[in-house]
Amino acid sequence: MIIWANLDCEARWSGQTLPRHVAKRISAASALLAALAPTSEPAEIYAPAAIDPDRIKLPNVTLHAGDPTTWDLAWANPTAKAANDRRLALALTEQLGVALRGARVITSLAELDAHLATTHTARWVCKAPWTAAGRDRAHGEGDTLGPEMKMAGLTPARGAELRVYVGRLLDRFGAVVFEPWLERVLDLGVCAQLAPDGRITAQAPHTLLSDPRGGFLGIDLAEPTLRDSDRVLLARTVAAAGNALHALDYVGPFTVDAFVYRSGDAQVLHPLCELNARYTFGHVARGLAARFGTRVLGFGPPPPGAQILVAASADDPVSAWAS
């Protein structure tokens, strides 16, 4: 099977070139897409950059650098830019009545200044319309974005740097999505497939492993503990996401990411923080589970007894493993 592992799809949609170290890291992770191929078929995987083949510990995998002329399966449909625009997910939350307070599209620094002055959000994040793995986002605090950052608990230098960085994101993308940064208790996702006739087939929710700033660390297929009402809301959200993608003529895999956050003494489900209209590592984790009987797909130092899938190297200390 020929697999186009275009894990740089978000960068392509935004007209950017990934730094070399990022391109090499996602290219190493591309080997994991072999889990999406039939077990009996060798996987010919085309990735953004060349990788030392000795790092790859999966059987029947050959990595190539560059784009294939034809492919049997792609990480992302290269025409699915509109389906993966973060502004689509925001519009869906507004339609469903579950948008986070203060979440909105920002198109200028002046607009962000005005929004911060009226929203009074302790912590916040501005995300580019197309990003992956926590890249191209700015984290801030308080009511002012500027050198003084009086309410932010940041130094003047940090405040000035943040303003410059947000300005660069706006210059590159034309807009960012502003969201309050909440005290997350649990990150989760739902993998699904959208058929040409609009039929949606969804898997059970899985647990997302992430760092304190939302960076991706892996997948645990163990179902998260949710209230019955939250499961209903999550299922309704997945259905609405599938319907929105169908309206864009999208067909294929998608994933809805969600999280549970703390609000006073309560825990609240935010049922849609990301809509990824492509394969995700949730799909890959399920493929690995079917092939090896594993439950967890992780990136970083492997725990004792884990199966190494992609070994670390001198220029990339991150390994991929399953357990």
pLDDT for the residue numbered 215 = 77
pLDDT in tens, 31-67: 999 999 998 889 999 999 999 999 999 999 999 999 9
Predicted TM-score (pTM) above 0.85: yes
pLDDT tens track, the chain, 323 positions: 999 999 999 999 988 888 898 999 999 999 999 999 998 889 999 999 999 999 999 999 999 999 999 999 999 999 999 999 999 999 999 999 999 999 999 999 999 999 999 998 889 999 999 987 667 889 898 887 755 443 344 444 466 788 899 999 999 999 999 999 999 999 999 999 999 999 999 999 999 998 877 778 999 999 999 999 999 999 999 999 999 999 999 999 999 999 999 999 999 999 999 999 999 999 999 999 999 999 999 999 999 999 999 999 988 898 999 99
Query: What's the chain look like in SS3?
Result: CEEECCCCHHHHHCCCCCCHHHHHHHHHHHHHHHHHCCCCCCEEEEECCCCCHHHECCCCEEEEECCCCCCCEECCCCCCCHHHCHHHHHHHHHHHCCCCCCCEEECCHHHHHHHHHHHCCCEEEEECCCCCCCCCEEEEECCCCCCCCCCCCCCHHHHHHHHHHHHHHHHHHCCEEEEECCCEEEEEEEEEEECCCCCEEECCCEEEEECCCCCEEEEECCCCCCCHHHHHHHHHHHHHHHHHHHHCCCCEEEEEEEEEEEECCEEEEEEEEEEECCCCHHHHHHHHHHHHCCCEEEECCCCCCCEEEECCECCECCCEEEC
Domain spans of the chain, in order of start: 2-76+282-322, 82-98+182-278, 104-180
Fold of 82-98+182-278: D-amino Acid Aminotransferase; Chain A, domain 1 (3.30.470)
